[in-house]
Amino acid sequence: MITAAARNIEPLVASRGQMPSGIRAIGGFAADCLAMELETWPKPGLVSHVDNGSHVDMDAGTFRRSAAAIMPYLQSLAEAGALGCGMGVLRVIGLEAERAMLEATSGVNTHRGAIFGLGLLCAAAGARAGGLVDPARPLGDVVARLWGASILHGPVLLHSHGSVARRRFRAGGARIEAASGFPSVYRIGLPALRRTMPATPEDAEAARVEACFALIASVEDTNLLHRGGLEGLRFARRAARRFIDAGGVRAPGWRVSARWVHESFVARRLSPGGSADLLAMSLFVDAHDAPRS
Ligand SMILES: CC(C)(COP(=O)(O)OP(=O)(O)OC[C@H]1O[C@@H](n2cnc3c(N)ncnc32)[C@H](O[C@H]2O[C@H](COP(=O)(O)OP(=O)(O)OP(=O)(O)O)[C@@H](O)[C@H]2O)[C@@H]1O)[C@@H](O)C(=O)NCCC(=O)NCCS
Ligand SMILES: Nc1ncnc2[nH]cnc12
């Protein structure tokens, strides 16, 4: 499928038919990672196939429509990465993806953070599969190396919830995370996924729950700051940390404790949307980067 953004970028269209199949699969797999994030429960305060968490304006259907709408743009980002495009082109595609998301959700922001972070990882996967960088280099390093400086010095959204929270609380947010090569993915999300070593589909969901809680326990999530201020961020991190320190999904009766944490977030209207995005990114990286020996 050729997106409006890709129509504006002639080399992308001209070379699409010649893209190796490994590159052609990147966008679809990234959308699968968004679906796996959604199909994870209990996830404190977040929307899932089971309930709407702390949200009244979106449900699982909204997220599914959003993921389907942005999938072709994630694929365009992979192809742009394979063609060696700079941040200017990636930003055009990213902004088009945000518009497609808002159209699919009737104006609700479901995946802006994921479009940005997962989108950059798709571009990095494209660059690596296209032979533009060392094939052993982790995707996060590829993002930092190829686009880190432009991410930090690019235009800033002045009125987003995230930018208000970042200014008010001096938080880093999605741009710092991406420009530094996604430390939360590599140091927190990915190790949590891998240490729980899924053997069955049910175990795979448990591994995603573990990674989600581990991320909430450490990420400076501007969504939590937006909804709950510093108090909300601290509450969320402490509750998630207690769950992990008590053994996480390896503790007997973990589902009951995880559900209790989920309900305590809903009672406070807290929603760690940044950690949800980082969970999807961890799943993407888990499949693309070999474990370090
Ligand atoms: C660079 C942008 C991402 C700019 O966005 P912004 O200025 O808003 O920056 P951040 O605050 O840093 O966060 C943006 C979103 O990223 C997620 N996020 C939050 N904290 C982190 C973190 N520490 N690390 C990584 N990611 C993080 C989070 O996204 C999720 O939350 C969104 C829902 O938010 P909101 O609408 O506020 O939701 P509600 O609480 O529901 O609102 P109300 O009900 O109260 O009304 C959702 O999207 C999740 O994904 C942050 O929101 C970027 O947007 C940008 O510059 N884009 C331009 C395009 C571009 O450059 N693209 C590059 C190539 S793809
Ligand atoms: N499952 C989810 N619930 C709420 N906000 C999110 N942002 C990204 N994924 C989310």
pLDDT tens per residue across span 33-79:
999 999 999 999 999 999 999 999 999 999 999 999 999 999 999 99
Range of the domain at 75: 4-288
Three-class SS state of 6: helix
Cβ neighbour number for residue 88 with a 10 Å cutoff:
9
State how many domains the chain has: 1
For residue 221, the CA-to-ligand 1 centroid distance in Å is 9
User: Under DSSP, is residue 23 helix (H, G, I), strand (E, B) or coil?
Assistant: helix
- Per-residue pLDDT of 90-148, as tens digits, reads 999 999 999 999 999 999 999 999 999 999 999 999 999 999 999 999 999 999 999 99
Sign of the torsion angle spanned by Cα atoms 140, 141, 147, 151: positive
Ligand 1 atom at shortest distance from the alpha carbon of 162: 11
Q: Residue 5 C-alpha to ligand 2 middle, in angstroms?
A: 25
Cα of 11 vs centre of ligand 2, distance in Å, is 34
What is the ipTM score, two decimals? 0.95
In a domain, residue 130? The reply is yes
Residue 45, Cβ neighbours under 10 Å: how many? 31
Cα torsion for 202, 208, 214, 216, to the nearest 10°?
-120
Residues with CB under 6 A from ligand 2: 37-38, 46-47, 53, 55, 114, 271, 273, 276-277
Q: Please identify, by atom number, the ligand 1 atom nearest to the C-alpha of residue 166.
A: 11
Query: Would you say residue 48 lies in a domain?
Result: yes
In contact, 192 and 211? CB cutoff 8 Å = yes
What's the predicted TM-score (pTM) here?
0.94
C-alpha separations of 237 from 38, 46, 242 in Å: 21, 15, 9
* Contact in structure between 249 and 206 (CB atoms under 8 Å): yes
DSSP state of 152: H
In ligand 2, the atom with minimum distance to the C-alpha of 38 is 1
Does residue 199 form part of some domain? yes
Residue whose Cα lies nearest atom 1 of ligand 2: it is 47
Tell me whether residue 293 is in a domain.
no
